[in-house]
Amino acid sequence: MSDAAQPTAAEVRAAAEAVKTALDRHLAAVERRSGEDDPAVYEAFNQLAAAAEVYDELLYDRYDEVTPFEIPGTEDSLPPYAGPEEPNAISVLIRRDYAVAEPQRLLAQAERVEAAEYGDGPGADQDAAGTVHGALGILFGEFEPDEIASRHKEFGLEEADSTLWVTAADEPAEPGEWLEAPFEGVDPQRVVCRFDVSAVFDDEDGDDGDDDTPRGEDPDELDDLDLDEDEDLEPLDAER
């Protein structure tokens, strides 16, 4: 960056003062909060994040220094809630990501579901149970998403990021109204609450993450596992 484009020391100082002011406002909003979802706290948070981001950028441009804290992107944060105070309806939007960590375990569970449901009868789809995408269709068709989430290791899956949004509506949607594009058209100002789960929020342990796979087997040896005798797999309920 050229010297002409660099911010002045006065601009950096002004940005620092703006962070201090926003910090005081945020603390005051927290102290006066009326509940867990107080819009004044959200607004003060967003103002603090925006002020801190400006200061961080100016500090780096002028002095090639950074702040010791992460600055959340204000474009990704939710605006203050502007929906109805007493919603007549809500929509719950959920996204959960998984990695297929153990395909053999996934396939074995799908085969067990097929065997419990159909045995060797004509309803059994051996081809579907023998492919990863087919096995996923069988398991997600058999179990509720919450049960998949609670038993994901049993199904050979590894949790990744997840998010849950609760949005307010004036009236329930008409049947079939949003099925073609279920996650489009969400108004951020009508999000009542949001819950995110991500490894991004975990504390840094200083290791390379190898401890996140606490199984005794070497992943390279999964092909040699006899899943029919794997004691870690809980028996499926044949009456489901």
The pLDDT of residue 114: 87
Which residues are CB-neighbours of 144 under 8 A, at least 6 positions away?
A: none
Residue 33 has what pLDDT? 87
pLDDT at 174: 93
Q: How far apart are CA 43 and CA 49, in angstroms?
A: 10
Q: Which residues pair with 99 in a beta bridge?
A: 158
**Residues of the chain falling short of pLDDT 70:** 1-4, 70-78, 119-128, 202-240
Global pTM value: 0.52
Measure Cα distances from 82 to 41, 94, 95, 142, 166 in Å. Answer: 14, 21, 24, 39, 14
Q: What is the pLDDT of residue 77?
A: 60
CB atoms within 10 A of CB 85: 6
At 213 the pLDDT is: 37
CA–CA dist 98, 209 (Å, integer)? 17
SS (H, E, C) 166-197: EEEECCCCCCCCCCCCCCCCCCHHHEEEEEEE
